[in-house]
């Protein structure tokens, strides 16, 4: 798994943010690269660039090893993100991929919890397997 953070801020702003804020929240600062997208080209590709404001709005994307977006979440600035949920989803996508698509993870699934076996036999019986 590789994590990247991208914004329209300059590398200098990222450095200052890392030193003045992030390093106080996470020992040593965040352990992944903060990339600069000053013209919003990457943000535009992912549909999160606000051209009028000249900034990317908050978005997160889980992209599989084949380059396919498996999940996307876009939030306005007043609502914070949930890193635990991001990690849970990444683990679920990795589990499903490793199973070759023979298993699916229900809502809220975490490693060690029951999975679902997709197919016609599951229709109308999910409640027997999955207890939210």
- The predicted structure's pLDDT at residue 107: 87
Each residue of 39-53: pLDDT tens digit?
999 999 999 999 999
- The predicted structure's pLDDT at residue 29: 82
User: CATH 3.40.30.10 residue ranges in the chain?
Assistant: 5-81
- The predicted structure's pLDDT at residue 130: 78
Give the residue carrying structure tokens 């390093």.
23
- The predicted structure's pLDDT at residue 32: 84
- The predicted structure's pLDDT at residue 18: 87
Q: Does domain 5-81 have CATH number 3.40.30.10?
A: yes
End-to-end alpha-carbon separation of the chain, Å? 28
- Secondary structure (DSSP) of 77-117: TTS---HHHHHHHHHHHHHHHHTTTS-B--TT--TTS--B-
Backbone angles phi, psi at 63, to 5 degrees: -115, 125
- The predicted structure's pLDDT at residue 112: 92
- The predicted structure's pLDDT at residue 38: 92
Residues ≥6 apart with Cβ < 8 Å to 35: 4, 5, 6, 7, 42
* The pair of three-digit structure tokens given for residue 129, joined into one six-digit string: 């397997």
CB of 99 closer than 8 Å to CB of 80: no
Residues of the chain short of pLDDT 50, as ranges, are none
């Amino acid at each position: 798994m590789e994590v990247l953070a991208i914004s329209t801020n300059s590398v200098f702003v990222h450095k200052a943010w890392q030193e003045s804020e992030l390093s106080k929240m996470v020992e040593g600062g965040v352990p992944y690269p903060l990339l600069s997208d000053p013209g919003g080209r990457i943000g535009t590709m992912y549909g999160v660039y606000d051209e009028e404001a000249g900034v990317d709005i908050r978005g997160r994307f889980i992209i599989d090893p084949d380059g396919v977006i498996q999940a996307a979440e876009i939030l306005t600035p007043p609502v914070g993100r949930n890193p635990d949920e991001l990690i849970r989803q990444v683990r679920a996508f990795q589990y499903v991929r490793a199973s070759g698509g023979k298993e699916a993870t229900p809502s809220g699934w975490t490693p060690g919890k029951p999975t679902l076996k997709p197919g016609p036999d599951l229709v109308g019986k999910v409640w027997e397997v999955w207890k939210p």
